Amino acid sequence: MNTVTSDQSQRDDQFRGRIMDTTDFPTATFALTEPISLGSVPGVGATVSETVTGKLTLHGTTKTVTFQLQARRTASTIAVSGSIPIVFADYGVNNPSGGPATTSDRGTLEFLINLSHV
């Protein structure tokens, strides 16, 4: 969590400090509750969508989450992406509003993982 950055260093400082307290909670993790079975290997250019369930840990709190995951195969990689809706209070995170900025009590954790065969 300490490496999350945006285009605003002041925002990054707030994220790492009062919002996510990365000194006490430096990592976030996700673990599938069971493997994803694709049956056969998708063809090049194919995108596969699957509903997955796993355990997401943020700010020292673990919750079971279910969401859609997409995997797209190219000639040399598989790009896996998805988004997980987050209600901050569910993870013990205070609403990140501060100063003149007002935010919602929820957000979206988005990810993109590029897998390649070495």
Tens of pLDDT along 36-95? Answer: 887 787 889 999 999 999 999 999 999 999 999 999 999 899 999 999 999 999 999 887
Calpha distance 101→73 (Å, rounded): 40
For residue 34, tell me if it sits in a domain.
Answer: yes
Average pLDDT over residues 10-23: 83
Residue 80's nearest CA partner among 38, 57, 53, 49 is 49
Sheet with 47-58, edge to edge strand ranges: 29-32, 47-58, 61-73, 77-87, 106-116
| Cβ pair 78, 72 in contact under 8 A | yes
CB under 8 Å to 87, separation ≥6 — which residues? 105, 106
- Tell me whether residue 11 is in a domain: no
Q: Is the pTM of this model over 0.85?
A: no
- Indicate whether 38 belongs to any domain: yes
Number of domains in the chain: 1
Residue 21 included in any domain: no
The CATH number covering residue 42 comes to 2.40.128.110
Range of the domain at 89: 27-116
